[in-house]
Amino acid sequence: MRLSSRLSLTQQNALLLVAFFLAFELLVASAVTYFLMLPMARRSADDLAGLMALSAQTWSELPPVTRPAFEIELARSHGLALRAEPPQDAQPPSWREPYLHFLVASLSARAGEPVATSREAIQGEPWFWVSLPAGRRHLSVGFPHSRIGPRPIHALLASLAGGALLTLLAAWWLARRAIRPLQRLQEAATSLGRGQTPERLPETGPREIAALSRRFNEMAKQVEDLLAARTVLLAGVSHDLRTPLARLRLAVEMLVKKPSAELAAQVEGDIEAMDRLIADVLTLARGFGHEAAQPVAVRELLAELVRTTPGAAERVQIEAADATLAAPVGALRRILANLLENALRYGAGQPVTLRAELADGVCRIGVLDRGPGIPPAEREAVFRPFYRLEASRSVSTGGSGLGLAIVRQLAAAHGWDVSLQSRPGGGLEVWLQIALSPAG
Protein backbone atom coordinates (compact mmCIF):
# COMPACT_ATOMS: atom_id res chain seq x y z
CA MET A 1 0.00 0.00 0.00
CA ARG A 2 1.30 3.40 -0.92
CA LEU A 3 2.04 5.81 1.89
CA SER A 4 -0.37 8.41 0.47
CA SER A 5 -3.28 5.95 0.61
CA ARG A 6 -2.92 5.25 4.31
CA LEU A 7 -5.03 6.94 6.93
CA SER A 8 -3.41 9.73 8.86
CA LEU A 9 -2.93 9.42 12.60
CA THR A 10 -5.71 11.96 13.09
CA GLN A 11 -8.13 9.88 11.03
CA GLN A 12 -7.14 6.66 12.76
CA ASN A 13 -7.63 8.15 16.23
CA ALA A 14 -10.98 9.68 15.23
CA LEU A 15 -12.30 6.41 13.81
CA LEU A 16 -11.09 4.43 16.83
CA LEU A 17 -12.79 6.83 19.24
CA VAL A 18 -16.03 6.66 17.24
CA ALA A 19 -15.91 2.86 17.19
CA PHE A 20 -15.29 2.65 20.95
CA PHE A 21 -18.07 5.13 21.63
CA LEU A 22 -20.58 3.24 19.47
CA ALA A 23 -19.70 -0.03 21.18
CA PHE A 24 -20.06 1.63 24.59
CA GLU A 25 -23.41 3.21 23.71
CA LEU A 26 -24.75 -0.05 22.31
CA LEU A 27 -23.77 -1.80 25.53
CA VAL A 28 -25.40 0.88 27.68
CA ALA A 29 -28.51 0.98 25.48
CA SER A 30 -28.85 -2.79 25.64
CA ALA A 31 -28.58 -2.79 29.42
CA VAL A 32 -31.04 0.10 29.81
CA THR A 33 -33.49 -1.49 27.38
CA TYR A 34 -33.35 -4.94 28.95
CA PHE A 35 -33.32 -3.99 32.62
CA LEU A 36 -35.34 -0.74 32.55
CA MET A 37 -37.32 0.06 29.42
CA LEU A 38 -38.75 -3.39 28.67
CA PRO A 39 -40.05 -3.96 32.24
CA MET A 40 -41.56 -0.46 32.23
CA ALA A 41 -43.12 -1.09 28.80
CA ARG A 42 -44.66 -4.37 29.99
CA ARG A 43 -46.08 -2.73 33.10
CA SER A 44 -47.43 0.22 31.15
CA ALA A 45 -48.96 -2.07 28.51
CA ASP A 46 -50.56 -4.18 31.24
CA ASP A 47 -52.03 -1.05 32.86
CA LEU A 48 -53.42 0.14 29.52
CA ALA A 49 -54.79 -3.33 28.79
CA GLY A 50 -56.60 -3.30 32.14
CA LEU A 51 -58.02 0.18 31.43
CA MET A 52 -59.19 -0.87 27.94
CA ALA A 53 -60.81 -4.07 29.23
CA LEU A 54 -62.47 -2.21 32.08
CA SER A 55 -63.68 0.53 29.75
CA ALA A 56 -65.27 -2.00 27.38
CA GLN A 57 -66.91 -3.84 30.26
CA THR A 58 -68.18 -0.61 31.86
CA TRP A 59 -69.53 0.67 28.54
CA SER A 60 -71.49 -2.55 28.00
CA GLU A 61 -73.06 -2.31 31.47
CA LEU A 62 -74.07 1.39 31.20
CA PRO A 63 -77.53 2.43 30.06
CA PRO A 64 -77.48 3.46 26.40
CA VAL A 65 -78.39 7.05 27.28
CA THR A 66 -75.20 7.53 29.34
CA ARG A 67 -72.81 5.85 26.97
CA PRO A 68 -72.07 8.98 24.86
CA ALA A 69 -71.04 10.93 27.95
CA PHE A 70 -68.83 8.03 29.04
CA GLU A 71 -67.17 7.91 25.62
CA ILE A 72 -66.46 11.66 25.73
CA GLU A 73 -64.95 11.46 29.21
CA LEU A 74 -62.91 8.38 28.26
CA ALA A 75 -61.49 10.15 25.20
CA ARG A 76 -60.75 13.34 27.16
CA SER A 77 -59.13 11.69 30.19
CA HIS A 78 -57.44 8.62 28.70
CA GLY A 79 -57.28 9.13 24.93
CA LEU A 80 -59.36 5.99 24.24
CA ALA A 81 -62.24 5.59 21.79
CA LEU A 82 -65.08 3.02 21.87
CA ARG A 83 -67.05 1.68 18.93
CA ALA A 84 -69.84 -0.80 18.83
CA GLU A 85 -69.08 -1.53 15.18
CA PRO A 86 -65.66 -2.54 13.85
CA PRO A 87 -63.67 0.20 12.11
CA GLN A 88 -64.26 0.72 8.39
CA ASP A 89 -61.45 0.11 5.87
CA ALA A 90 -59.49 -1.59 8.65
CA GLN A 91 -56.09 -3.07 7.78
CA PRO A 92 -53.78 -5.38 9.67
CA PRO A 93 -51.50 -3.44 11.99
CA SER A 94 -47.92 -2.95 10.79
CA TRP A 95 -46.45 -1.17 13.82
CA ARG A 96 -43.28 -2.73 15.19
CA GLU A 97 -43.19 -1.13 18.64
CA PRO A 98 -42.56 -3.73 21.37
CA TYR A 99 -45.15 -1.86 23.45
CA LEU A 100 -47.98 -2.94 21.12
CA HIS A 101 -46.91 -6.57 21.26
CA PHE A 102 -46.92 -6.40 25.07
CA LEU A 103 -50.38 -4.76 24.96
CA VAL A 104 -51.88 -7.41 22.67
CA ALA A 105 -50.41 -10.20 24.80
CA SER A 106 -51.84 -8.68 27.98
CA LEU A 107 -55.30 -8.15 26.36
CA SER A 108 -55.34 -11.72 25.07
CA ALA A 109 -54.50 -13.01 28.56
CA ARG A 110 -57.33 -10.97 30.07
CA ALA A 111 -59.82 -11.99 27.39
CA GLY A 112 -58.87 -15.62 27.59
CA GLU A 113 -58.52 -15.78 23.80
CA PRO A 114 -56.47 -14.08 21.08
CA VAL A 115 -57.83 -10.62 20.37
CA ALA A 116 -58.26 -9.21 16.87
CA THR A 117 -56.29 -6.08 16.04
CA SER A 118 -56.45 -3.64 13.14
CA ARG A 119 -55.38 -0.15 12.13
CA GLU A 120 -57.23 2.75 10.56
CA ALA A 121 -56.30 6.23 9.42
CA ILE A 122 -58.45 8.95 10.98
CA GLN A 123 -57.76 12.53 9.83
CA GLY A 124 -54.31 11.48 8.64
CA GLU A 125 -53.28 9.87 11.92
CA PRO A 126 -53.04 6.07 12.33
CA TRP A 127 -55.22 4.46 15.03
CA PHE A 128 -54.81 1.08 16.69
CA TRP A 129 -58.00 -0.94 17.35
CA VAL A 130 -58.60 -4.03 19.45
CA SER A 131 -61.80 -6.08 19.51
CA LEU A 132 -62.61 -6.95 23.15
CA PRO A 133 -65.47 -9.03 24.57
CA ALA A 134 -68.07 -6.90 26.37
CA GLY A 135 -70.89 -8.94 27.78
CA ARG A 136 -72.41 -10.95 24.94
CA ARG A 137 -70.82 -8.91 22.19
CA HIS A 138 -67.45 -7.51 21.07
CA LEU A 139 -66.53 -3.88 21.39
CA SER A 140 -63.74 -2.08 19.48
CA VAL A 141 -61.43 -0.06 21.70
CA GLY A 142 -58.82 2.13 19.97
CA PHE A 143 -56.30 4.89 20.50
CA PRO A 144 -54.12 7.02 18.22
CA HIS A 145 -50.52 6.11 17.52
CA SER A 146 -49.36 9.30 19.23
CA ARG A 147 -50.67 7.97 22.57
CA ILE A 148 -47.89 5.40 22.76
CA GLY A 149 -45.47 8.19 23.67
CA PRO A 150 -41.89 6.93 24.21
CA ARG A 151 -40.26 5.24 21.23
CA PRO A 152 -37.11 3.52 22.54
CA ILE A 153 -35.90 2.36 19.13
CA HIS A 154 -36.11 5.88 17.71
CA ALA A 155 -34.42 7.25 20.83
CA LEU A 156 -31.63 4.68 20.53
CA LEU A 157 -31.02 5.42 16.87
CA ALA A 158 -31.10 9.18 17.45
CA SER A 159 -28.71 8.96 20.38
CA LEU A 160 -26.34 6.74 18.40
CA ALA A 161 -26.35 9.10 15.43
CA GLY A 162 -25.95 12.22 17.55
CA GLY A 163 -23.32 10.64 19.77
CA ALA A 164 -21.35 9.36 16.79
CA LEU A 165 -21.36 12.82 15.22
CA LEU A 166 -20.29 14.56 18.42
CA THR A 167 -17.66 11.93 19.11
CA LEU A 168 -16.29 12.23 15.59
CA LEU A 169 -16.00 16.00 15.93
CA ALA A 170 -14.44 15.77 19.40
CA ALA A 171 -12.07 12.99 18.31
CA TRP A 172 -11.02 14.95 15.23
CA TRP A 173 -10.33 18.04 17.34
CA LEU A 174 -8.43 16.11 20.01
CA ALA A 175 -6.44 14.16 17.45
CA ARG A 176 -5.45 17.29 15.53
CA ARG A 177 -4.50 18.98 18.80
CA ALA A 178 -2.29 16.03 19.70
CA ILE A 179 -0.85 15.61 16.20
CA ARG A 180 0.01 19.28 15.57
CA PRO A 181 3.27 19.10 17.61
CA LEU A 182 4.24 15.93 15.74
CA GLN A 183 3.62 17.67 12.42
CA ARG A 184 5.89 20.52 13.52
CA LEU A 185 8.48 17.94 14.55
CA GLN A 186 8.22 16.25 11.14
CA GLU A 187 8.70 19.56 9.34
CA ALA A 188 11.66 20.45 11.55
CA ALA A 189 13.24 17.01 11.05
CA THR A 190 12.80 17.31 7.28
CA SER A 191 14.41 20.74 7.36
CA LEU A 192 17.28 19.41 9.46
CA GLY A 193 17.75 16.48 7.08
CA ARG A 194 18.16 18.91 4.19
CA GLY A 195 21.00 20.66 6.00
CA GLN A 196 18.91 23.67 6.95
CA THR A 197 18.61 25.20 10.39
CA PRO A 198 15.11 24.48 11.73
CA GLU A 199 13.26 26.73 14.09
CA ARG A 200 13.25 25.59 17.69
CA LEU A 201 10.12 23.69 18.67
CA PRO A 202 8.00 25.07 21.52
CA GLU A 203 8.58 22.95 24.61
CA THR A 204 4.96 23.08 25.71
CA GLY A 205 1.96 20.76 25.77
CA PRO A 206 1.77 17.27 27.32
CA ARG A 207 4.80 16.00 29.19
CA GLU A 208 5.80 13.49 26.49
CA ILE A 209 5.46 16.04 23.67
CA ALA A 210 7.39 18.66 25.64
CA ALA A 211 10.17 16.14 26.39
CA LEU A 212 10.33 15.10 22.73
CA SER A 213 10.50 18.74 21.58
CA ARG A 214 13.21 19.48 24.14
CA ARG A 215 15.27 16.49 22.99
CA PHE A 216 14.88 17.49 19.34
CA ASN A 217 15.97 21.04 20.12
CA GLU A 218 19.04 19.67 21.88
CA MET A 219 19.78 17.40 18.93
CA ALA A 220 19.34 20.29 16.46
CA LYS A 221 21.73 22.38 18.55
CA GLN A 222 24.26 19.52 18.57
CA VAL A 223 23.98 19.16 14.79
CA GLU A 224 24.50 22.89 14.36
CA ASP A 225 27.54 22.75 16.62
CA LEU A 226 28.92 19.79 14.69
CA LEU A 227 28.45 21.58 11.37
CA ALA A 228 30.06 24.71 12.78
CA ALA A 229 32.93 22.67 14.23
CA ARG A 230 33.43 20.95 10.88
CA THR A 231 33.63 24.29 9.13
CA VAL A 232 36.08 25.59 11.71
CA LEU A 233 38.18 22.44 11.46
CA LEU A 234 38.42 22.64 7.69
CA ALA A 235 39.18 26.36 7.74
CA GLY A 236 41.71 25.99 10.56
CA VAL A 237 43.52 23.05 8.95
CA SER A 238 43.72 24.77 5.58
CA HIS A 239 45.02 27.94 7.24
CA ASP A 240 47.53 26.30 9.54
CA LEU A 241 48.95 24.03 6.84
CA ARG A 242 49.71 26.83 4.42
CA THR A 243 52.64 28.24 6.42
CA PRO A 244 54.61 24.98 6.80
CA LEU A 245 53.78 24.05 3.20
CA ALA A 246 55.17 27.37 1.98
CA ARG A 247 58.33 26.83 4.05
CA LEU A 248 58.62 23.28 2.72
CA ARG A 249 58.34 24.47 -0.86
CA LEU A 250 61.02 27.08 -0.30
CA ALA A 251 63.26 24.63 1.59
CA VAL A 252 62.95 22.01 -1.16
CA GLU A 253 64.00 24.54 -3.77
CA MET A 254 66.99 25.57 -1.65
CA LEU A 255 67.93 21.95 -0.91
CA VAL A 256 68.03 21.25 -4.63
CA LYS A 257 70.40 24.14 -5.18
CA LYS A 258 72.45 23.84 -2.00
CA PRO A 259 71.86 20.89 0.38
CA SER A 260 72.12 21.80 4.04
CA ALA A 261 71.68 19.96 7.33
CA GLU A 262 69.97 23.03 8.74
CA LEU A 263 67.41 23.07 5.92
CA ALA A 264 66.85 19.33 6.28
CA ALA A 265 66.17 19.79 10.00
CA GLN A 266 63.74 22.61 9.18
CA VAL A 267 61.90 20.38 6.70
CA GLU A 268 61.72 17.60 9.27
CA GLY A 269 60.40 20.02 11.89
CA ASP A 270 57.70 21.33 9.53
CA ILE A 271 56.65 17.79 8.67
CA GLU A 272 56.40 16.89 12.37
CA ALA A 273 54.34 20.02 13.03
CA MET A 274 51.99 19.14 10.17
CA ASP A 275 51.73 15.57 11.43
CA ARG A 276 50.84 16.75 14.95
CA LEU A 277 48.22 19.12 13.57
CA ILE A 278 46.61 16.43 11.44
CA ALA A 279 46.67 13.97 14.37
CA ASP A 280 44.98 16.50 16.63
CA VAL A 281 42.34 17.28 13.98
CA LEU A 282 41.61 13.59 13.44
CA THR A 283 41.36 13.04 17.17
CA LEU A 284 38.90 15.90 17.52
CA ALA A 285 36.89 14.92 14.42
CA ARG A 286 36.58 11.23 15.27
CA GLY A 287 35.47 11.80 18.81
CA PHE A 288 36.37 9.39 21.55
CA GLY A 289 35.18 5.87 22.01
CA HIS A 290 34.19 4.40 25.33
CA GLU A 291 37.11 3.38 27.50
CA ALA A 292 36.59 1.14 30.49
CA ALA A 293 37.29 2.67 33.87
CA GLN A 294 39.98 1.19 36.08
CA PRO A 295 41.59 2.14 39.38
CA VAL A 296 43.96 5.09 39.00
CA ALA A 297 46.42 6.24 41.66
CA VAL A 298 46.24 9.99 41.20
CA ARG A 299 49.65 10.86 42.65
CA GLU A 300 51.40 8.17 40.60
CA LEU A 301 49.66 9.34 37.42
CA LEU A 302 50.76 12.94 38.02
CA ALA A 303 54.34 11.80 38.70
CA GLU A 304 54.36 9.80 35.46
CA LEU A 305 53.16 12.87 33.52
CA VAL A 306 56.01 14.94 34.96
CA ARG A 307 58.57 12.28 33.99
CA THR A 308 57.34 11.91 30.42
CA THR A 309 56.70 15.59 29.60
CA PRO A 310 59.82 17.40 28.28
CA GLY A 311 60.92 20.23 30.53
CA ALA A 312 58.48 19.35 33.31
CA ALA A 313 60.83 17.79 35.83
CA GLU A 314 62.54 21.11 36.67
CA ARG A 315 59.39 23.27 36.87
CA VAL A 316 56.49 21.10 38.09
CA GLN A 317 55.53 20.57 41.72
CA ILE A 318 53.03 17.90 42.77
CA GLU A 319 50.65 18.49 45.68
CA ALA A 320 48.43 15.45 45.91
CA ALA A 321 47.45 13.06 48.65
CA ASP A 322 47.46 9.33 48.06
CA ALA A 323 44.06 8.74 46.49
CA THR A 324 42.61 6.27 44.02
CA LEU A 325 39.68 6.82 41.69
CA ALA A 326 38.00 4.74 38.96
CA ALA A 327 38.44 6.45 35.59
CA PRO A 328 39.50 5.75 31.96
CA VAL A 329 43.27 6.09 32.24
CA GLY A 330 43.90 7.04 28.62
CA ALA A 331 41.39 9.89 28.56
CA LEU A 332 42.52 11.21 31.94
CA ARG A 333 46.20 11.12 30.92
CA ARG A 334 45.45 12.89 27.61
CA ILE A 335 43.55 15.69 29.34
CA LEU A 336 46.19 16.29 31.99
CA ALA A 337 49.00 16.08 29.44
CA ASN A 338 47.38 18.77 27.26
CA LEU A 339 46.79 21.01 30.27
CA LEU A 340 50.36 20.51 31.53
CA GLU A 341 51.86 21.30 28.12
CA ASN A 342 49.81 24.51 27.92
CA ALA A 343 50.90 25.52 31.43
CA LEU A 344 54.57 24.93 30.59
CA ARG A 345 54.26 26.78 27.28
CA TYR A 346 52.42 29.85 28.58
CA GLY A 347 53.65 29.84 32.20
CA ALA A 348 56.38 32.43 31.54
CA GLY A 349 59.07 30.04 32.77
CA GLN A 350 57.59 30.03 36.30
CA PRO A 351 56.91 26.89 38.38
CA VAL A 352 53.74 24.89 37.62
CA THR A 353 51.77 23.08 40.31
CA LEU A 354 49.76 19.86 39.88
CA ARG A 355 47.23 19.60 42.69
CA ALA A 356 44.67 16.91 43.51
CA GLU A 357 41.88 17.36 46.06
CA LEU A 358 39.13 15.06 47.34
CA ALA A 359 35.97 16.53 48.85
CA ASP A 360 32.24 15.71 48.92
CA GLY A 361 32.54 12.75 46.56
CA VAL A 362 34.44 14.75 43.93
CA CYS A 363 38.07 14.58 42.84
CA ARG A 364 39.48 17.91 41.61
CA ILE A 365 42.76 17.86 39.71
CA GLY A 366 44.23 21.28 38.98
CA VAL A 367 47.04 22.58 36.79
CA LEU A 368 48.20 25.92 38.21
CA ASP A 369 50.66 28.26 36.50
CA ARG A 370 51.99 31.80 36.98
CA GLY A 371 51.59 32.95 33.39
CA PRO A 372 49.60 35.91 32.09
CA GLY A 373 46.32 34.01 32.51
CA ILE A 374 43.21 34.25 30.34
CA PRO A 375 40.75 37.18 30.52
CA PRO A 376 37.34 36.14 31.86
CA ALA A 377 35.66 37.16 28.59
CA GLU A 378 37.88 34.70 26.67
CA ARG A 379 37.62 31.68 28.97
CA GLU A 380 34.78 30.02 27.07
CA ALA A 381 36.11 30.92 23.62
CA VAL A 382 39.48 29.22 24.20
CA PHE A 383 37.71 25.85 24.18
CA ARG A 384 36.70 26.35 20.53
CA PRO A 385 38.90 24.62 17.92
CA PHE A 386 41.74 26.78 16.52
CA TYR A 387 40.92 29.68 18.85
CA ARG A 388 44.08 31.31 20.18
CA LEU A 389 44.64 34.40 22.25
CA GLU A 390 47.87 34.96 20.33
CA ALA A 391 46.76 35.81 16.78
CA SER A 392 50.01 35.23 14.88
CA ARG A 393 49.27 31.49 14.44
CA SER A 394 52.98 30.84 14.75
CA VAL A 395 53.97 27.47 16.17
CA SER A 396 56.90 29.10 17.95
CA THR A 397 54.55 31.34 19.95
CA GLY A 398 51.74 28.90 20.54
CA GLY A 399 50.16 25.58 19.64
CA SER A 400 47.58 24.71 17.01
CA GLY A 401 44.63 25.87 19.10
CA LEU A 402 43.22 22.35 19.51
CA GLY A 403 44.54 21.39 22.94
CA LEU A 404 41.72 22.84 25.04
CA ALA A 405 39.11 21.78 22.46
CA ILE A 406 40.29 18.19 22.85
CA VAL A 407 40.28 18.57 26.64
CA ARG A 408 36.68 19.84 26.64
CA GLN A 409 35.44 17.11 24.29
CA LEU A 410 37.20 14.33 26.20
CA ALA A 411 35.85 15.60 29.52
CA ALA A 412 32.30 15.93 28.17
CA ALA A 413 32.46 12.40 26.73
CA HIS A 414 33.10 11.02 30.24
CA GLY A 415 30.82 13.34 32.19
CA TRP A 416 33.63 15.43 33.66
CA ASP A 417 33.82 19.19 33.99
CA VAL A 418 36.68 21.54 33.07
CA SER A 419 36.80 25.10 34.36
CA LEU A 420 39.21 28.04 34.21
CA GLN A 421 39.75 30.62 36.91
CA SER A 422 42.28 33.23 37.91
CA ARG A 423 44.99 32.14 40.36
CA PRO A 424 45.49 34.29 43.43
CA GLY A 425 48.76 36.18 43.01
CA GLY A 426 48.62 35.94 39.21
CA GLY A 427 48.35 33.13 36.74
CA LEU A 428 45.71 30.60 35.70
CA GLU A 429 44.08 27.62 37.38
CA VAL A 430 42.57 24.86 35.22
CA TRP A 431 40.49 22.39 37.20
CA LEU A 432 39.24 18.98 36.09
CA GLN A 433 36.35 17.82 38.26
CA ILE A 434 35.50 14.11 38.38
CA ALA A 435 32.59 12.70 40.36
CA LEU A 436 33.71 9.65 42.30
CA SER A 437 31.81 6.43 41.75
CA PRO A 438 30.70 4.41 44.81
CA ALA A 439 33.63 2.04 44.20
CA GLY A 440 36.10 4.88 43.58
Residues 182, 206: Cα–Cα separation, whole Å: 12
CATH topology of domain 200-286: Helix Hairpins (1.10.287)
Lowest mean pLDDT among 117-131, 143-157, 200-214, 401-415: 143-157
Q: Which pLDDT does position 352 carry in this prediction? A: 92
53 residue type, one letter: A
Average pLDDT score over residue span 229-240: 61
Backbone angles phi, psi at 202, to 5 degrees: -70, 130
Percentage of the chain surpassing pLDDT 70?
A: 81
Residues 49, 72: Cα–Cα separation, whole Å: 19
**Interval 178-232: pLDDT, tens:** 777 777 777 788 877 776 777 788 887 777 777 888 888 888 877 776 666 666 5
Whether residue 134 is predicted with pLDDT greater than 90 in this model: the reply is: no
Domain ranges of the chain: 3-155, 200-286, 289-435
By the 8 A CB rule, do 93 and 128 touch? yes
Residue range 289-435, CATH number: 3.30.565.10
Whether residue 94 is predicted with pLDDT greater than 90 in this model: the reply is: no
**Of 190, 212, 228, whose CA–CA distance to 201 is shortest?**
212
Indicate the DSSP class of residue 95: -
193-206 burial, b at 16+ Cβ within 10 Å, e below that, comes to eeeeebeebeeebe
Asked if CATH classification 3.30.565.10 holds for the domain at 3-155, the reply, yes or no, is no
**Interval 342-394: pLDDT, tens:** 899 888 889 999 999 988 888 999 999 998 888 888 888 887 776 666 544 34
| pTM more than 0.75 | no
Q: Which pLDDT does position 203 carry in this prediction? A: 81
**Of 129, 175, 164, whose CA–CA distance to 12 is shortest?**
175
Residues 78, 143: Cα–Cα separation, whole Å: 9
